[in-house]
Chain A
């Protein structure tokens, strides 16, 4: 990776308190890095902790029962977890921005689109109001909105899903952040609109060289967008690999099962291998490997001790003792 390091997450741990019953660990020992101009995919099924990871990085857990209980998050060398709320407010927007699945509900319904954009720009730059207004229009045009002046005058509810996601992206990009965190940005959209938004995000990455953390459950989106992928299961990273390797030689049994269970357009298959069972409840985690109860290769030791996330070279990491054993014998 020749590009400079942008985000460095080290052993992040986030817990959610459940009243008197104690707490569950939603994100456990998560470490990864994002470099400038790179799109990193974070995939997993619902409840695997991928969104909580993003919220933890952004320090947006304040109004939730969640609490970061360990680890460090360095953004361009600065530990975000030590920043005050004041500093974080500045960093959010200027250095790192986030877009969400529900773009519509992330916009203020009572304010015109351009006014919201201008507000965000004024907050983070020392532009005058006039400059900010010009910049807002420029941003709207940049994200491919036809007739930006008209869209700017409308209220969020007058926009379609794709349009409001474009506005969100315009807002997120308005202060040239170096890192963009996109949490399921296209999940609520139709495929033809999804294609437009993905195209836009690729353009941003290519032209402005923004680092993007793309959180999604859709392996198709990952294959198309990302250069590196992290797979999460039950709050842990189970595998990390460059995108080609992940899809062609998945190592962790969960990744294998996940990739196999996605119907592939044009493949003509009429039945799919599936992973039996369902994701364990966070409050009733099995000891040992969290995937062991659903894993067809599981042995006794898998059920006893949780394997570490081992480096396998070539940018690969995998949390499975069996894979690690196999690699060891190969070497």
Chain B
């Protein structure tokens, strides 16, 4: 094949040739995510909720704290769409205002818990050894308690109050992140490109920040979304039990709690906060499912 011999020295121009035209990652992700209807619906619901939380008080038809003694415990009506409570306060306005406290408490507690859990989990997975044993056994101990019971126990120890509720919920969020992030770290750590990084001479800090952590982000985002739902439920439960905010503050759990006394005469006081908590938790879980399926179909 003499004619092919000539190409030996030919510059390998074509190697530059067309690379596969792939969509940019965020774009491809968005497209895939949009195909999951329930997750999109959940995302839309949560988005509306967040907007209301942000600008809620301005949108609310009434002052959530203003009593109206002419309208005590009245059911839904054109004037008060979701009715009024025992002081004649507008339920809709209180729910809108209450989302700040409820979401604020649950989100901040999950953020704190996720941060601590992620750091512990990643370090445990990467370095192994005694650190791993300590973190994992500690998680096991915390896992042995049912979530709510653990939170109640913590609040009982450190006393009621919003900050303490945040701490309690954060504490029981830590082990779930520690576990998930550890296993995600273990799988990324085994990947060839981490070995390559080590062979290049990267230090542990760089490997952790540029290789391991980005590789575990997906698991973290998914778990985060799921845990927010649990945290809302826990925060609401604690408020319901009277450990949380001052009862006069609008808060979903507290509203549910005080509405319980009038369940016979004014059941809407229980229904609407309960329904809202249910929908919000459900939406976070559905969003979490959708994100998990889109980001990483392997972790079912």
Q: How far is the CB of A233 from chain B (nearest CB, A)?
A: 16
Contact yes or no, B14 A271, CB < 8 A: no
Contact yes or no, A276 B15, CB < 8 A: yes
Count residues on chain B whose CB falls below 8 Å from chain A CBs: 15
Contact yes or no, B5 A276, CB < 8 A: no
Contact yes or no, A250 B7, CB < 8 A: no
Q: How far is the CB of A283 from chain B (nearest CB, A)?
A: 10
State in angstroms the CA–CA spacing of A296 and B20 once bound together: 22
Determine if A260 is an interface residue (Cβ-Cβ < 8 Å): yes
Determine if B12 is an interface residue (Cβ-Cβ < 8 Å): yes
Determine if B4 is an interface residue (Cβ-Cβ < 8 Å): yes
Contact yes or no, B7 A274, CB < 8 A: yes
State in angstroms the CA–CA spacing of A272 and B21 once bound together: 30
Q: How large is the interface on A (under 10, 10 to 19, 20 to 34, 35 or more residues)?
A: 10 to 19
State in angstroms the CA–CA spacing of A293 and B16 once bound together: 13
Q: How far is the CB of B2 from chain A (nearest CB, A)?
A: 10
State in angstroms the CA–CA spacing of A281 and B17 once bound together: 12
Contact yes or no, A276 B13, CB < 8 A: yes
A251-305, CB < 8 A from B? 256-257, 259-260, 271-274, 276-278, 281, 284, 293-294, 296
Given contacts A259-B1, A260-B1, contact A276 B7 (CB under 8 A): yes
State in angstroms the CA–CA spacing of A293 and B17 once bound together: 10
Which residues of chain A have C-beta atoms less than 8 A from B15's C-beta? Answer: 276-278
Query: Which residue of B3, B5, B8, B17 contacts A277 across the interface (Cβ within 8 Å)?
Result: B17
Of A273, A274, A278, A294, which is in contact with the most chain B CB atoms at under 10 Å from its CB? Answer: A273
Query: Which residue of A259, A272, A277 contacts B14 across the interface (Cβ within 8 Å)?
Result: A277
Contact yes or no, A273 B5, CB < 8 A: yes
Given contacts A256-B1, A260-B1, contact A273 B7 (CB under 8 A): yes
Query: Which residue of A257, A277, A278 contacts B4 across the interface (Cβ within 8 Å)?
Result: A257
Determine if B10 is an interface residue (Cβ-Cβ < 8 Å): yes
Q: How far is the CB of B178 from chain A (nearest CB, A)?
A: 34
Render B12-28 as a binary contact track against A, CB cut-off 8 A, 1 for contact: 11110110110000000
Query: Which residue of B5, B7, B17 contacts A278 across the interface (Cβ within 8 Å)?
Result: B17
Sample (27) of A-B pairs whose CB atoms are under 8 Å apart: A250-B1, A256-B1, A256-B3, A259-B1, A260-B1, A260-B5, A273-B4, A273-B8, A274-B8, A276-B7, A276-B10, A276-B12, A276-B13, A276-B14, A276-B15, A277-B14, A277-B15, A277-B17, A278-B14, A278-B15, A278-B17, A281-B20, A293-B14, A293-B17, A294-B14, A296-B7, A296-B10
Residues of B whose CB lies within 8 Å of any CB of A are: 1, 3-5, 7-8, 10, 12-15, 17-18, 20-21
Residues of A whose CB lies within 8 Å of any CB of B are: 250, 256-257, 259-260, 271-274, 276-278, 281, 284, 293-294, 296
